[in-house]
A and B are shown apart, each in its own frame.
Chain A
Amino acid sequence: MKFESTVTQIQADNIDTDQIIPARFLKTISKDGLGDQLFFDWRYNADGSPKADFILNTEKAKASKVLFAGDNFGCGSSREHAPWALTQYGFQAVVSTSFADIFKQNSLKNRLLPLVVSKEVHQQLREALEANPDLQVSVDVEPQTFTWPGGPAVTFTIDAFAKHCLLAGVDEIGYVLQHEADIAAYEAKRFSTLNTLVG
């Protein structure tokens, strides 16, 4: 997983999943069409027309793979519709100083990289983008690097298993299902004396 991209900034702290995709779009039973609903209430006017001044409605953002946001991105609900909407829009990474736990897990399962940077790097990137809004950044998961011309040599941390799954395209559910013997042994030990819930 390696790519270069311009950066799309939505610079607010605590962007919650209700902003990323409002709950009224969660009545769907599929994953389709969520990219158009990404940041819906910030992105569209009351009549449904796109707000010209909102970043996600620009051609540049539509071609961008990196969303750059404030601290504690993805807080709130467990809806996986949030990373589905972000990836369908075209993002492959979100850069922030921290992520909410459930959002982070959901993102990794959808090949959306939650890329954590320090406050200093966050500030440096903001300044670099102020100087050059068309700045190209490079993300490379294998060496865990996040760089841009003239910027610091940033190495980000990522859990080794998550990294392996991203790089090798591991199907985690398939991996877990290989543990059949372990699960059966646990069940045999655990439920020999306990009631099951129902029946």
Chain B
Amino acid sequence: MPSKPRTIIEKVWDNHIVAEREGAPSLLFIDLHLVHEVTSPQAFSGLRQRGVKVRRPDLTFCTVDHSTPTTPRSLPIVDPIAATQVAQLEKNAQEFGIPYFGFQNRDQGIVHVIGPENGLTQPGMTVVCGDSHTATHGAFGALAFGIGTSEVEMVLAAQTLLQKKSKSYEVRVEGTLKPGVTAKDIILALCAKIGIGGGTGCVFEYTGSAIRALSMEERMTVCNMSIEAGARAGLVAPDEKTFEYLKGRRFAPKGEKWDEAVAKWKELVTDEGATYDHSITIDADSLEPMITFGTNPGMGMAISANVPDPANVTDSLERESLRKALVYMGLEAGQPIAGQKIDVVFVGSCTNSRMSDLRAAAGVLKGRKVSPSVRTMIVPGSQEIKRQAEAEGLDQIFKDAGAEWREAGCSMCIAMNGDQLTPGQYSVSTSNRNFEGRQGKGGRTFLASPQTAAASAIMGVVTDVRTLA
């Protein structure tokens, strides 16, 4: 009897069920648990109180990224609270026997960058981390989602999670992106279209010709921001690009095991006739470079558009939200966003800090100078990316343009490490969140692609890269 057609989301879910008991959520096995310094200390304390070990240190991986400075690694961590937190993770990793890429390790980097980079992230896995951008790993056809510290403790203790099955949501992107339009613009367009809560309770599967055409790094950018549209996870079914990316990476299967793995991974597609709980189609041909104007990632629009007018919003709470956002952002309803003066450009974060992002920014900056009124920070996602960019001479392009070339970390995406906006400053940022104060108290963020960020750095104002002379 033929089995019921399933989505890839259901297949990965079904493969990981450890137990199902009446009256309780499913117990789901976790293949890869990534751990960083910010959301784990209280979980390790909990293990000590229970007298419990880490069940599978071999499926657990630690690094530091959030509170670490991006100044030269030869300098100590100046902030004593951050230094304590970093030291605590090192201590925890040692005590519980977990592999650890520490602050001084040559492979340190943003957790969602180094997972794929080292081949830790593989198709069909369940991947969790105490971080909402864990969805990044979905680019490989993994079911990857963020968890809180109590759940971190649960996974450390039992390598399983109590989970209720999410609904499935197909995000189909068909067509061809125009020049100057990027993966970042696809996901910002989705956020603008369905809103910051549009995917709540769901896992996205990104499908369609425009998604297939994306590189693995671009797919990571798309999946990364699934949470900004409310979905805890978002994934892309693996294909030849996925296998090509993974082959030969440090923790990827080798030899016969590689062939076995690829054969299994090829089964990870949504079956013909499988259905989703929700679906949406986005026309790639009609997309423009996107930028946010407000205080959540759903408040985005084409860079050529004008700031919306709250007077045109019918729902009273929504109208008030928009009005409040424009007050915070210091923007007038109806003004063009292009031409808005900026103070800082940040190229980095788990969304856009990979080689292709740096090459894109360098492509725009090459032979040009950033505006003297703009501080431009380029922060690679990992030390490996930093080395690779330097080998290609990208660092020199950035420095010649007047930009700062820094060490790897989350940096100004979350502003925990001293890299931050001052009150009132405007940034164009390739990161993922434009919430009030996200990049520093009182700071004002425009989210955009690396190309838009680089073009804006040159002009000193929000700039459509396609208009650059």
Contact = CB atoms under 8 A, between A and B. Distances in A.
Interface of A: 11-14, 16, 18-19, 22-24, 26-31, 41, 46, 70-72, 75-80, 83, 98-102, 105-106, 109-110, 159-161, 164, 172-177, 179, 182-183, 186-187, 190, 193-199
B305 interface: no
Contact of A179 (B27, B58, B153, B436): B27
B224 to A, nearest CB: 13
B306 interface: no
A12 B150 contact: no
A12 B320 contact: yes
Interface in B305-322: 317-318, 320-321
B427 to A, nearest CB: 15
A164 B22 CA distance: 13
Given A105-B147, A183-B27, 6 more contacts: A18-B436, A22-B441, A23-B66, A26-B67, A31-B42, A80-B150
Interface residues of B, number: 78
B39 interface: yes
A77 B230 CA distance: 11
Contacts of B130: 78, 80
A105 B227 CA distance: 15
Contact of A77 (B42, B52, B131): B131
A70 to B, nearest CB: 6
Nearest to A82: B148
Given A193-B260, A198-B58, A27 B150 contact: no
Nearest to B232: A101
B146 interface: yes
Interface string B30-49: 00100000110110011000
Contacts of B132: 76-78, 102
A24 B415 contact: yes
A187 B56 CA distance: 10
B436 A26 contact: no
A27 B81 contact: yes
A70 B317 CA distance: 8
Contacts of A199: 58
B180 interface: no
A55 to B, nearest CB: 15
Interface in B128-179: 130-132, 146-151, 153-154, 157-160, 162, 164, 166
B274 interface: no
Interface stretch (B194-202, B347-355, B360-368): B194-202
B196 A75 contact: yes
A33 to B, nearest CB: 12
Contacts of B41: 28-30
B378 interface: no
Contacts of B81: 27-28
B109 interface: no
A172 B29 contact: no
Contact of A29 (B84, B131, B227, B260): B84
Nearest to B438: A18
Interface in B406-441: 414-416, 423, 433, 435-438, 441
